[in-house]
Amino acid sequence: MGAVLSLTSKLSASGSPIIHFADKPATLRVKKSDGSDDVDEVSINTLLETRCPSLFSDFKPLWWLPNGHFQTLYCVVGNFSKNDLIWYSRTYIRVAEGGTLGLDFTPADHSKIRDDAPIVVVQHGLTGGSYEAYIRAILSRACAPVEEGGLGYRGVVINFRGCAGVPVTSPLLYSAGHTNDTRNALMYIAHKFPKAPLLGLGFSLGSNVITRYLGEDGKVARLHAACVLACPWDIRANNEGLSTSFLGRHIYSRGMGSNLMKLLKRHLHVMAQDPDHYVARAAATTLKLKNPTLEDFDQAFTRVGGGPPPHFPFPDSEAYYIWGSSHNIVDKITVPFLAINAADDPVVSHVPMDGGGNGLVVMELTAGGGHLGWFQSGGQGYVDRWTTKPVIEWLKLFGDDVVHDTINRGPPMFTDEAGFLREEGRPELGVRVLEEGSIIDGTAVPSKTGTLQGL
């Protein structure tokens, strides 16, 4: 994709965002405000201008977080334990390959939520989970009751294998490009709530997974709309950006590499059960690394154990980065899609802004915000995120106002003799419930993770 903006741009951290619409923006069907069954047909750019005005507002960083480095580091060191309190009800699901995913639903008691309430389906960052403050900032508002100023929606966070206390039960982890775990989770969610529109929300690595999933599945994708924040897009180019700057290599890349190394060590007993397995050999090689960068870890392990055959293993990390990138697939997305990046993001320095010519895709670049930061004053000493309000407006637009063609998108499903929920024509997919109903404190980082928050 062209029109790439880099951190070398002379944009200040404060100022108006750049928003790109396709030359021919898509037209969407929207409910009329008079309460009738009639609908209007409105272009996506007009809809956002009138119903998502916060997208066009200036980002004004806190004076003590003036640039992307400070914004990003505050994600890691900030204390968010008293902000956006939230509780989850966890469901563990087993996928056909043998792995386990943890789905955290909120509100934990969802007996009072209507069956057709929109569901915000979240994919978190590199080694995060449902406890991350950037997730809670949005879900705490989207899933609050309407009478308390919320949207009254349901939320669910798809915790990657090994993250947020989810066990690893097969010799595979996850990666930026592997999308079958997302398909399995969405199949279960759509089956459990067949009347509910599904609204995707991604952060960093999770953004890349959602974008690839939508591009790969096209018209049979189960999400009805999606918003992604801080997507890494061209992973090879952005990894090069990290590797060629001092702070990028020694702070951010090593921080992410350290998080991944701790995750691997925590689940090594599963990875190494069969020492002759190719993933076990890769894990053994990885453990010999000292203070690895993200690229070091990806070269040693992710390219091998970040997903199943036939794509994995890759010959090297560069081949994995090229395959796993999402910048070249947005033209195939068939649902409304909003991407928000920051021009001073020290982790994602190359951001595509043309949307692949797709009329459903909207690309936004704020002048500042860092990587998953966007911290601004919320009044009376409260630290808020600029992204929260526009994302809530986007979710409300596509949860309440836009008329979706069909509620239950995706291929037909059936349950096989072993109790696995399956999709027709995709024998590699399958999911069954292992356990459900345990209550999770959304502000509590699982003990003994040792990983840094905010990444």
Q: In this structure, what DSSP letter does residue 59 have?
A: B
The predicted-structure confidence for 34-49, as pLDDT tens digits, reads as follows 777 789 999 999 999 9
Catalytic, out of 89, 140, 175, 204: 204
Report phi then psi at 218, rounded to 5. 50, -120
Q: What is the mean pLDDT of residues 275-292?
A: 97
pLDDT category of residue 448 using cuts at 50, 70 and 90 = low
- Asked if 360 and 44 count as a contact pair (C-beta separation under 8 A), the reply is yes
Catalytic, out of 84, 104, 181, 345: 345
Least confident of 5-14, 139-148, 152-161: 5-14
Please give the Cα distance from 145 to 167 (Å, whole number).
32
Catalytic, out of 124, 224, 327, 371: 371
- Spell out where 215-354 has E strands: 225-229, 337-342, 350-352
Give residue 295's pLDDT. Answer: 97
Structural class in CATH, domain 4-32+39-234+337-441: alpha beta
Residue spans per domain, the chain: 4-32+39-234+337-441, 243-324
pLDDT at 11 > cutoff 60: no
Number of alpha carbons in the 13 Å side-chain half-sphere of residue 160: 28
The predicted-structure confidence for 91-142, as pLDDT tens digits, reads as follows 999 999 999 999 999 999 988 899 999 999 999 999 999 999 999 999 999 9
Please confirm, yes or no, whether 371 is among the known catalytic residues: yes
Give residue 323's pLDDT. Answer: 98
Report phi then psi at 162, rounded to 5. 85, -5
Please give the Cα distance from 49 to 400 (Å, whole number).
17
Q: CA torsion angle for 102, 106, 109, 110 (degrees, to 10)?
A: -110
CA distances from 437 to 87, 102, 139, 354, 405 (A): 12, 11, 19, 43, 32
Average pLDDT over the chain reads 93
Please confirm, yes or no, whether 345 is among the known catalytic residues: yes
- Asked if 224 and 398 count as a contact pair (C-beta separation under 8 A), the reply is yes
Please confirm, yes or no, whether 250 is among the known catalytic residues: no
Please give the Cα distance from 190 to 116 (Å, whole number).
11
pLDDT at 382 > cutoff 60: yes
Give residue 368's pLDDT. Answer: 97
Report phi then psi at 198, rounded to 5. -110, 120
